[in-house]
Amino acid sequence: GSAGGSGVRGQTGYLFDVWVGVPSSESVGAEERVVVRTIATEKPDYVLIDSVEGLERVVRALADAPRFSVDVETDSVSPHRAGLLGISLCSQEKKAYYVVYPREEERRAVWRRLLNPLFSSDKEKIGQNLKYDLVVLRRHGFCVRGPYFDTMVAHALVSPEGKHNLDALAIHYLGYEPIPIEQLLGPDKQRNMRELTPEQIKDYAAEDADVTFRLRKPLILELQKLGMETLFYDLEMPLLEVLVDLELTGIYVDAERLRALDEALSREAQRLEKEIFRLLGVAINLSSAKQVGEALFVHLKLPYPGRKTATGQYSTSESVLQKIADKHPVIPLLLQYREIQKLRSTYVKGLLSRRHPVTGRLHPTYHQVRTATGRLSTSDPNLQNIPVRGEWGRAIRSVFTAGDDAFEMLSLDYSQIELRLIAHFSGDERLIEAFEADRDIHTETAVRLFGVGSGEVTPEMRRRAKAVNFGIFYGISAHGLAEQLKISRSEAREIIQRYFATFPKVQAYIEELLREAREKGYVETLLGRRRYLPELHSMNPAVRGHAERAAINTPIQGSAADLIKLAMIRIHRFLRERGAQTRMVLQIHDELLFELHREEADLIPALKRIMEEVYPLRVPLKVTVGRGSTWSEAH
C-alpha cells in the first residue's frame, strides 16, 4: 500500500460494474454482472492509532488471532530507501488499524518494543507483495518471522499469466474496488505520501490490510484445488525470507574500478568511431539510425536484407546488421560500438547511480512472480543480464568485490543443469550414461552427430553440438539452427534429425509433452509449477509455434528455477544454524554468489553438497566452485 510500493496499487482500469469471481478468460452473460462493492457500501471499521495506549490495545486485540495481515505505508517505491510512515494491521474482516509511525526515535523504540513480540510470533503474517513490507520493517529495526502468506505470490502460482496487483485481485475474488491511489496522490501521483496527514491516509492504508486479509481464503482454496500448497508453503514462502536477506545484504561494487572501466570503454568507443568514419568515408551521428542506414545502404550501397520501417527508413537493428556482417568490415565495428555504448549506459552509469550512498552496495529487488517459468529476476538494477563472455563482460564482473578484506568471493554454479534435466525427464540411456560417467556432453554429442572418435572432435564440431544440445529445449527449428551456426537449412535439418536418432527418447519425451500439453492446456515443472498455454490450439502457425517452444522449454527452465530456489532455502538455513559470517549475496540464473569469510573455507564442501543433493534426479547434479577477490575471478 505505499506510494506505488507494497501492494502495487492503482494499475488497473476496471469499471465499477464488473464480473465477479470468474476467470478473465471466460466470457460471462450480462445477467451475471454485479455492481462492485466499495468502502462506501461496506462501511468497515478502520481505526487510526497514534498513541501508546492505542497501540497496546491493538496488540491485545491481535494476541488471540492465529493470523493477521500487515501492510506498510512509505514515502518511496524503493524498499531500500523508503521512510516508514505507518503500519496497517488486520485480523478480522472489515476491521483494521492504521498505526502511525512516530517521527521521534524515543517513541519509535516504544513502538518496536510493543510490536516485535507480535511480529516475531508464530502467527501467520499475510501480505500483498510481502517482501516489500518485510524489507522496510527490517530496515526500521523490526523483527518479523514467518510463517508467511503472500497473496501476490499465491495468485502468481494459480494464475501465472494474470495480473497480480491488489486492485485486480480484490475485483476478481471479492467484487470489491479499493480506493484508488490517485485519490490520495493526484491523477499523476504528483504528491508524496509524506505530504498527507495520517487521517487522510487511514482508510486507504487500513483497507489494504483488510482486503489482503480477506484474499487469503479464496486463494488458499485455489492452491488446494490445483495441488500447489506444497510448492507455496515449502518453496515460495520460505524463499521470501532468503530474498529479504539477499536484498538487505546487497552486493558490494567498487566505485573506483567502475570509473576506470568507464574511461576504458570511452576510449574504446572513440577508437571505434574513428575507424568507422574512415571505413564509411563520412562522419555521421552513430546514434542516429537514419544516418547509419543511409550511410550503409545508400552511400556504401550494401544489400538491404529487410523491409523498410513504417516511416520509410532503413532498419539498422542488430538482427539486420548481423545478416550482412560479412558484407563489409564496418558492420562488425558498428556492432562493437553499440555494445560498448550499451555497456556504458546500462551497467557502468546504471550501477554507479544505484550504488547505495551509505553501504556502497547494490540492493537489487528480486521478483518471484515476473517470469512465466518461475525464474527469479532482479530490477533496480537488473543483474541477470550482465554479459558473461568477452573481455568487457569479465571487466564488468570484476567491479563486484567483497568490499572487506576478511572476505572473498565464492561462486557455486550448476553445471549444465538444463541438459541434466532433459536426461532426467526423457530417461534417455545414452544421455544418462554420459552424465553418470561425467563425460563432456558436448563432445559426446559431437561424436554421435559427426561419427568421429572423441579424440577427433574439432572445436567447430563441439560448438555445433553445443548449439543443438541447448537449442533442443528451446524447441529450435532448422531455420533457427541454420541462422545460429551460419549453415544451410538442409544441413541444420540433418543435424537435428541425427540428434533425435542418437537420443530417441528425447524426441519421444518432447512429442509426449506436447500431446499432454494440448490435452491439459498447461505444462508443469518438477515441483508442480504450472504454465497455461491456450495458444497451443491457435490457428496461427507462428503463435502456435511460439507456444510449442514455451511448452518444451518451461518444464526444463522452470525445474532448474525450482531447484536453485530449494538450494537457496537450504543453504540459507545451514549458514544461519552454523552462525556463519559467510553470506549469500546474489542469485543469477544457475549460479549462487557468496561473500566467503576467509576463515570459513571449510564450509565450501557442505555448500556444494547441499546444491548437488537438493533433489534426487536420474543423473547427478554437478556444481562448479570458483573463488577469487572479484566475481570475475570466482566465476
pLDDT tens, residue by residue, 443-461: 989 998 888 888 899 999 9
Which residues have CB under 8 Å from 14's CB, separation 6+? 36, 167, 168, 171, 177
pLDDT of residue 103 exceeding 90, the answer is: yes
The three cell numbers locating residue 322: 548481423
* CA dist., res. 522 & res. 536, Å (int): 9
Quick: pLDDT tens for 153-204.
999 999 988 899 999 999 999 999 999 888 888 887 778 888 888 999 999 9
Per-residue pLDDT, averaged over 236-263, amounts to 94
- Tell me what pLDDT residue 5 has: 40
Q: Helix (H, G, I), strand (E, B), or coil: what is residue 349?
A: helix
Reported as a pLDDT band with limits 50, 70 and 90, residue 382 is confident
* CA dist., res. 570 & res. 46, Å (int): 40
Per-residue pLDDT, averaged over 389-395, amounts to 83
* CA dist., res. 407 & res. 209, Å (int): 41
Reported as a pLDDT band with limits 50, 70 and 90, residue 25 is very low
The residue whose grid cell reads 515441483 is 527
Quick: pLDDT tens for 330-341.
888 999 999 899
In which element (H, E) is residue 531 found? Answer: strand 530-532
Reported as a pLDDT band with limits 50, 70 and 90, residue 20 is very low
Give the range with max mean pLDDT: 41-45, 160-164, 247-251.
247-251
* Cβ(362)–Cβ(351) below 8 Å: yes
pLDDT of residue 91 exceeding 90, the answer is: yes
Q: Which of 15-24, 149-158, 308-317, 339-348 has the lowest mean pLDDT?
A: 15-24
Name which of 361, 386, 349 is nearest 263 in CA terms: 349
The 8-class DSSP code of residue 368 comes to S
* CA dist., res. 182 & res. 545, Å (int): 41
* Cβ(321)–Cβ(339) below 8 Å: no
* CA dist., res. 421 & res. 441, Å (int): 13
Which residues have CB under 8 Å from 105's CB, separation 6+? none
- Tell me what pLDDT residue 357 has: 85
- Tell me what pLDDT residue 34 has: 54
Reported as a pLDDT band with limits 50, 70 and 90, residue 35 is low
Share of the chain above pLDDT 90, in %: 65
* CA dist., res. 561 & res. 589, Å (int): 8
- At residue 100, what is the residue type? V
Per-residue pLDDT, averaged over 475-501, amounts to 87
Mean pLDDT of the chain: 89
φ/ψ region of 10 (left if φ > 0, alpha if ψ in -120 to 50, else beta) reads: left
Per-residue pLDDT, averaged over 575-590, amounts to 95
- Tell me what pLDDT residue 113 has: 96
Check whether the bond before 178 is cis (ω within 30° of 0).
Answer: no
Name which of 554, 585, 505 is nearest 246 in CA terms: 585
* Cβ(245)–Cβ(572) below 8 Å: yes
Name which of 253, 87, 96, 222 is nearest 154 in CA terms: 222
- The alpha carbon torsion through 568, 573, 575, 577 (nearest 10 deg) reads -170
pLDDT of residue 408 exceeding 80, the answer is: yes
- Tell me what pLDDT residue 24 has: 39
pLDDT of residue 11 exceeding 60, the answer is: no
C-beta atoms surrounding 295 within 10 Å: 25
Residues in the chain: 635
pLDDT of residue 412 exceeding 50, the answer is: yes
In Å, the largest CA–CA distance within the chain is: 82
**Phi and psi (nearest 5°) for 584?**
-75, 135
Which residues have CB under 8 Å from 249's CB, separation 6+? 361, 583, 584, 585
Measure Cα distances from 40 to 2, 37, 44, 177 in Å.
Answer: 22, 8, 9, 10
| Residues forming beta bridges with residue 72, ordered by sequence position | 87
- Tell me what pLDDT residue 19 has: 36
Per-residue pLDDT, averaged over 84-102, amounts to 96
Per-residue pLDDT, averaged over 412-416, amounts to 95
pLDDT of residue 598 exceeding 80, the answer is: yes
More confidently predicted of 476 and 632? 632
Per-residue pLDDT, averaged over 88-105, amounts to 96
Which residues have CB under 8 Å from 158's CB, separation 6+? 219, 222, 223, 226, 228
* Cβ(62)–Cβ(118) below 8 Å: yes
* CA dist., res. 443 & res. 65, Å (int): 61
Strands (E), 60-210: 67-74, 84-92, 95-100, 124-127, 148-150
Reported as a pLDDT band with limits 50, 70 and 90, residue 8 is very low
- Tell me what pLDDT residue 349 has: 86
* CA dist., res. 483 & res. 408, Å (int): 41
* Cβ(98)–Cβ(55) below 8 Å: no
The angle subtended at Cα 381 by Cα 401 and Cα 84, nearest 5°, is 105
- Tell me what pLDDT residue 30 has: 37
* Cβ(125)–Cβ(70) below 8 Å: yes
- Tell me what pLDDT residue 293 has: 87
pLDDT of residue 6 exceeding 50, the answer is: no
Share of the chain above pLDDT 70, in %: 94
In which element (H, E) is residue 522 found? Answer: strand 522-524
* CA dist., res. 242 & res. 177, Å (int): 33
Check whether the bond before 381 is cis (ω within 30° of 0).
Answer: yes
- At residue 537, what is the residue type? H
How far the first Cα of the chain sits from its last, in Å, is 39
Reported as a pLDDT band with limits 50, 70 and 90, residue 587 is very high
The residue whose grid cell reads 566465476 is 635
